[in-house]
Amino acid sequence: MASILIPELPAPGFSFENCQRNSFLAQKGFPAPKATKTGTTIVGIIYADGVILGADTRATENTVVSDKNCQKIHYLAANMYCCGAGTAADTEMTTQTVASQLELQRLHTGRTVPVETASTLLKRMLFRYQGYIGAALVLGGVDRTGPHIYCIYPHGSVDKLPYATMGSGSLAAMAVFESGWKPNLSEEEGKKLVRDAIAAGIFNDLGSGSNVDLCVIRNSGPAQYLRTYEEANIKGKKQGSYRYPLGTTAVLKQRVIPLDVESVSIHPVQPMEVETH
């Protein structure tokens, strides 16, 4: 019997039950369905008063954009957010699972959860699944020891850095950081740097696009999630119009067929009996 204090531990190791079946099906001509990937540019920096996370908003299914304005910065706790690149479902579910575990810890201990805890929970889970969960994350947050940025890879390794980029647009964004980042940036400088890095990813990487989302987490005070900080790609206005004015085509004949109403019946609906306290 599982309880809050003694939770049921999952069986260790990854379950390979379906691997043989999947390879058999692929062989017979039924390949696995394509997962929505978040092509992506995600970044995080430490600045003077905390951390700033940034992400683009394009989700792709191979070469088709499946979501033009998706949210890649996920809530983990009041003091930490996590950007996710890779398979959209994996990043979404992984961050939700860890967010709930963090909330339980916060309630059990009565303290703000340190960012390192989130990093440990994420990496232990991803290592258990040996890279099959395609979630590459940039975790950023602030705790009593200061601001932190962690880069977490799908196989379960973690890098702790002052500035990090992940995703297909990471090389473009890293180029911006390597030339522009310095310690103790002001908030305006930091936001501009992150915006420039995401823009570099959006305009130079096919897997990233649409808008720039930012999230500023300060050492004190609530986190500020700036959804659509900048609309980098505004859809152009249509130059021409296919609407034809009324009367362009001549009306030759007109016939109106009225619908015969056979019968009308009204049934009053009885509300369901429910107990009310």
Partner 1 sequence: MPPNVVTGSLGATSFQRKPAALTKVDGDAKYFRPGRKRFVALSGRHGCLSLNMGLVRDAVSIAPAQHHLEEEAQKDQKLQDCVYVFQCEMAASVINTYSDPTLEWMNTPHSTGTSIMACEFDGGVVIGADSRTTTGAYIANRVTDKLTRITDHIYCCRSGSAADTQAIADIVTYHLNFHKMELGEPPLVQTAAAIFRELCYNYRDSLVAGILVAGWDKKKGGQIYSVPIGGMVQRQAVSIGGSGSSYVYGYVDANFKPNMTKDEAVKFVTNTLTLAMLRDGSSGGVVRLGVITEAGVERSVILGDQLPKFYEG
Could you tell me the sign of the dihedral formed by the alpha carbons of 233, 174, 51, 206, in that order? positive
- What percent helix, strand, coil does the chain show, rounded to 5? 25, 25, 45
Q: How many CB atoms within 10 Å of residue 121?
A: 19
For 135, the enclosing helix (H) or strand (E) is strand 135-143
Rounded to the nearest whole angstrom, what is the least distance from the CB of residue 169 to partner 1 in the complex?
Answer: 11
Rounded to the nearest whole angstrom, what is the least distance from the CB of residue 177 to partner 1 in the complex?
Answer: 12
Rounded to the nearest whole angstrom, what is the least distance from the CB of residue 60 to partner 1 in the complex?
Answer: 11
Rounded to the nearest whole angstrom, what is the least distance from the CB of residue 114 to partner 1 in the complex?
Answer: 16
Contact predicate 71/57, CB 8 Å: yes
34 vs 227, beta carbon nearer partner 1: 34
Rounded to the nearest whole angstrom, what is the least distance from the CB of residue 83 to partner 1 in the complex?
Answer: 15
Rounded to the nearest whole angstrom, what is the least distance from the CB of residue 159 to partner 1 in the complex?
Answer: 4
141 vs 207, beta carbon nearer partner 1: 207
For the chain, the distance separating the N- and C-terminal CA atoms, rounded to the nearest angstrom, is 32
58 vs 218, beta carbon nearer partner 1: 58
CA distances from residue 5 to 2, 9, 104, 105 in whole angstroms, order as listed: 8, 12, 11, 12
**Residues assigned a catalytic role:** 40
Q: How many CB atoms within 10 Å of residue 97?
A: 13
Residue numbers at the binding site for partner 1 (CB under 8 A): 14, 16, 19-20, 23-24, 26-27, 37, 86, 123-124, 126-127, 130-132, 134, 136, 151, 153-159, 161, 168, 170-171, 207
127 vs 225, beta carbon nearer partner 1: 127
For 224, the enclosing helix (H) or strand (E) is strand 224-230
Count the helices and strands in the chain (H runs, E runs).
5, 13
Contact predicate 213/73, CB 8 Å: yes
Q: Which of 157, 180, 193, 186 is nearest to 44 (CA)?
A: 193
75 vs 132, beta carbon nearer partner 1: 132
120 vs 228, beta carbon nearer partner 1: 120
Determine the Cα–Cα distance for residues 90 and 18; give it in Å rounded to an integer. Answer: 18
Contact predicate 240/211, CB 8 Å: no
